[in-house]
Structure 1
Amino acid sequence: MSASTDLIEDTRPARLMTLPGVYAPQHDTRLLMAALDHEGIGKGTEVLDVGTGSGALALHAARLGARVTAVDIARRAVMTARLNALLHRRRITVQRSDLLASLPGRSYDLVICNPPYVPSPMGRLPGHGASRAWEAGRDGRAILDRVCEAVPAALRPGGRLLLVHSGLCDSDVTLRRLSDAGLRAVVSDRALVPLGPVLRSRLRWLRDTGLVDGEETEEELVVIRAEQA
């Protein structure tokens, strides 16, 4: 399963719509999309896409044959994912939810998640606006830690989680939290990508806090794969 990816091909669905303020597919989306291809998804596989944004990952899972539920806290993201499902003629259930809050008692074969994970000098999370899709507190873990806490209960026996985030957020912490929750967790893929505009805009702060060393111009992305015992 493990691999090292230096270049991520653009595999986003054609004609994907993204409304203003909704996270558009980027390197992390495509890395997670590639990871989905190795999970043996087929007819009858029940998949939950947490923080769906444009719906790109939900659409990819549906094309592989899965029955897909997609959630996002942002109303515009919910609308965007629904529009893209219609555009691509895929039957996807899309609803507004703060992580799994609107899905009590539901369980899935596979949960996929590309959460906000960018460390922020602001500390607090934005209540609305486009930055909600990436701002994640001073250590970048404000949403990640909630995902690690909530998802295990939503996995069926043998169920899996695929989670992507920046190496700036400390993948060892993610592995430990998922392991403490009873999952077998590993880093299944890595990729080096150019620093995006948000990270470049706060590069001095990232260096001052020790999250970025020297003149780094790339960011490591990791895919965490965790499996329910």
Structure 2
Amino acid sequence: MVLPGVYVPHEDTALLLEALSGEPLSAGAAVLDVGTGTGAVALAAARRGGRVTAVDVSRRAVYAARLNAARAGLRVRVRRGNLFDPVRGESFDLILANPPYVPAPARPRPPRGAARAWDAGQDGRMVLDRICEQAPGMLRPAGVLMLVQSALSDTERTVTCLRMNGLKAAVTRRQRIAFGPVVLGRASWLRQRGLLSPTEDQEELVVVRAELPR
């Protein structure tokens, strides 16, 4: 179930789910899904036996995730808050994230409503950088972070930042997709910024996997 104003799962969600399906996950592993939206990724982790906590800043998303977990008969702890704030002091074996990552023109106010799920500042890294800096401290030894983002928001910067924070990081999945409505609507601006070539009509999505050494 998707409520108005909550991010509808798209190709990025599917790519993260694909990455999750190939990740070893022991029964009872502590899993955190940051920016859960409808809870699609959290539910997939719960189906595999993970002890899942899902977090979202949107009240509607929290309600949707709780409702979807109940309808599926799955136990998922859902908390409302900004990124890791609701789970400070806890640690996890696996952190999953599909954060806002689309570069957006400067605006006088932060994004509101559904736009909070994709608008991420002029370089697309308003949330990505915070995850790269804060997630390593939330991981248990040998814990893994998997996040999905667009190449428009600088994949190499994500990998470098995670490595600088002590993780072994690499891109593990890539997929090219046609522009969705958001990117299509600001394609001219993205080209002016040099983030898209004049003839480019596809966006590359990637999953970055990072592991904390034992």
SS of 2:85 mapped into structure 1:
coil
Q: CA shift at 1:127, angstroms?
A: 4.7
String of CA shifts for 1:119-165, please: whole Å, max 9, x gaps.
Answer: 00125663531101100000000000011111000000000000000
- Answering whether residue 7 of structure 2 is matched by residue 23 of structure 1, we say yes
**1:187 partner amino acid:** V
- The share of aligned pairs that are identical, in percent, is 53
Q: CA separation in 2, counterparts of 1:89 and 1:122?
A: 42
Aligned with 2:40 (options 56, 61, 74): 56
- Answering whether residue 189 of structure 2 is matched by residue 189 of structure 1, we say no
Residue segments in structure 2 that go unaligned for 5+ positions in a row: none
Match of 1:148 in 2: 132
Contact 2:6 2:37 (C-alpha < 8 Å) held by counterparts: yes
Q: CA shift at 1:28, angstroms?
A: 0.3
Pairwise CA RMSD of aligned residues? 1.0
Residue segments in structure 1 that go unaligned for 5+ positions in a row: 1-16
Change in 2 beyond 3 A, CA 1:123/1:152: farther
- Answering whether residue 163 of structure 2 is matched by residue 179 of structure 1, we say yes
Q: CA separation in 2, counterparts of 1:38 and 1:84?
A: 23
Contact 2:111 2:119 (C-alpha < 8 Å) held by counterparts: no
Q: CA separation in 1, counterparts of 2:68 and 2:34?
A: 16
Match of 2:64 in 1: 80
Q: For residues 131-142 of structure 1, what are the structure 2 equivalents within 5 Å?
A: 131-142=115-126
Q: CA separation in 2, counterparts of 1:124 and 1:149?
A: 26
Q: CA separation in 2, counterparts of 1:120 and 1:104?
A: 29
Q: CA separation in 1, counterparts of 2:108 and 2:142?
A: 36
4+ runs deviating over 4 angstroms: none
Q: CA separation in 1, counterparts of 2:115 and 2:15?
A: 21
String of CA shifts for 1:97-131, please: whole Å, max 9, x gaps.
Answer: 10001211100000000000000012566353110
**2:65 partner amino acid:** A
Match of 1:129 in 2: 113
SS of 1:215 mapped into structure 2:
coil
Q: CA separation in 1, counterparts of 2:111 and 2:189?
A: 22
Counting matched residue pairs gives 213
Change in 2 beyond 3 A, CA 1:90/1:167: same
Q: CA separation in 2, counterparts of 1:200 and 1:127?
A: 18
- Segment drifting more, 208-217 vs 108-117: 208-217
| TM-score of the superposed pair, with normalisation by structure 2 | 0.97
String of CA shifts for 1:154-208, please: whole Å, max 9, x gaps.
Answer: 0000000000000011111001110010000000110001100011111111111
Aligned with 1:204 (options 183, 188, 191): 188
Q: CA separation in 2, counterparts of 1:184 and 1:31?
A: 20
Match of 2:205 in 1: 221
Q: CA separation in 2, counterparts of 1:158 and 1:67?
A: 17
Change in 2 beyond 3 A, CA 1:141/1:123: farther
Q: CA separation in 2, counterparts of 1:69 and 1:149?
A: 20
**1:122 partner amino acid:** A
**1:44 partner amino acid:** G
Change in 2 beyond 3 A, CA 1:18/1:195: same
Aligned with 1:94 (options 78, 82, 97): 78
| TM-score of the superposed pair, with normalisation by structure 1 | 0.91
Bigger share in helix: 2
